[in-house]
Homo-oligomer: A and B are copies of this chain.
Amino acid sequence: MEFIKGITKSELCEISDILSNQVEGYVKITGAIHTIRDMGEFSFIVLRKREGLVQCVYEEGSSGFSIKNLREGMTVVAEGYVNEEERAPQGFEVRLNNITILSSPKEDAVMPLPISKWKMRTTLESKLAYRPVSLRNIRERAIFKLQEGIVRGFRDFLYSQNFTEIRTPKLVAGNAEGGANVFKLDYFGQKAFLAQSPQFYKQTMVGVYDRVFEAAPVFRAEKHNTTRHLNEYTSMDFEMGYIKGFEDIMEMETEMLRYVFHFLKDKYAKELKLLEVNLSDILQIPTVRFDDAKVLVSEKYNRKIRNPYDLEPEEEVLIGRYFQEEYDSDFVFVTHYPSKKRPFYAMDDPSDPKFTLSFDLLYKGMEITTGGQRIHDYEEQVKKMEARGMEVSEFSNFLMIHKHGMPPHGGLGIGLERLTMKLLDEQNVRETTLFPRDLSRLEP
């Protein structure tokens, strides 16, 4: 009988092994041939590895193989001596003794995009059409490595605050956010929907673990074709019980963002540098009431208030600009949104029920978070549903939590792709979405 005992040590080495001097002299490394550059007397064969690019040097005669057999896109094992070389991407190069080909691209394949260029200088359309290939560009892939870091930081921070990670269903019988922007499907003869948010479930789980979070896909059948909407995106949600007020949620988010920024600077410095991002420390975040914010920007920027119940995208931009100019802050919490624009589970402000104990977080002039305190009292929740003409009996599963007792609680949802977009100063959320889904895009 044969047994698998775990990972066997490999003779292959990684960039970090070489940089940390764990490996010296003669090395074997794998990689994809990113580019071949003929320099006359010799050639550079640049390998793309997960940690970066490695410059290998081929010299006719001294390397034990012919460069004529090599093509870009092949994957290989390269062997040779490591030499310090300041001008090489990693500060070293490998002088090739041998190359073994592991795999080859299709014989006549023509690369549709110049992925080995630093910046591809192509349209977003092309990048998305050829996503499986364009992501091999060093800059492109750094975006999603950094995105990994955002989610990691989010989770690590919340674990440290005693939150429990949950996994809620995406196939649901009813939806929390209402409206028409919901995908429907047939579920063995029943009507099912794709979850617009984990709202009902995360509130439910506050009754179980007090503090919960989830980072998972949500689905919105929005017919908007804008630079900031997606039909599927990653929502980073948390929900917490025993709050004194909705300020507790804003405090938790502020601390979380501070942690994430530190985490990125610590663990993803390479990607930040590569993408030329300079993250400032988050010391504090100003808050402004929704109605005050409207007046502030209307006065300062001479803009008429057209819709008193909602913020237009342009107003968000101006509020962002205002707090950047006046308080040097990329972030601003806008609080107390009008009740009629918030969902039925939002808690109204007892001192003025036209408004809710809720907030959005704007980052560089764009909403990246919606949050607030939720109704925990059964009668209050039923009353608000009835006032909106909702069929209360359809929500008996959700109302089970209020019926049997819920602590005062609230939470928020953060759009991961939007947060990444603003962090990188990108102009289109598709730039920071691995495989975006929009009105016309269902593949790749």
Contact = CB atoms under 8 A, between A and B. Distances in A.
A442 interface: yes
B6 A258 contact: yes
A133 B255 CA distance: 31
A204 B444 contact: yes
A162 B30 CA distance: 15
A186 to B, nearest CB: 8
B400 A208 contact: no
A402 to B, nearest CB: 7
Interface stretch (A283-291, A307-315, A363-371, A423-431): A283-291
Given A50-B211, A132-B397, 15 more contacts: A3-B285, A4-B254, A7-B252, A32-B405, A50-B210, A72-B405, A74-B405, A75-B242, A103-B406, A105-B402, A105-B403, A106-B403, A106-B404, A204-B444, A397-B443
10 contacts: A4-B287, A5-B251, A14-B162, A30-B407, A32-B407, A73-B405, A168-B434, A183-B186, A192-B442, A397-B443
Interface of A: 1-8, 12, 14, 30, 32-33, 49-51, 72-75, 102-106, 109, 111, 130-133, 135-136, 141, 144-145, 147-148, 151-152, 159, 161-162, 164-174, 183-188, 190, 192, 194, 201, 204-205, 207-211, 216-217, 219, 221, 223, 231-232, 234, 241-242, 247, 250-252, 254-255, 258, 283-288, 327, 333, 376-379, 397-398, 400-408, 416, 434-435, 437, 439-440, 442-444
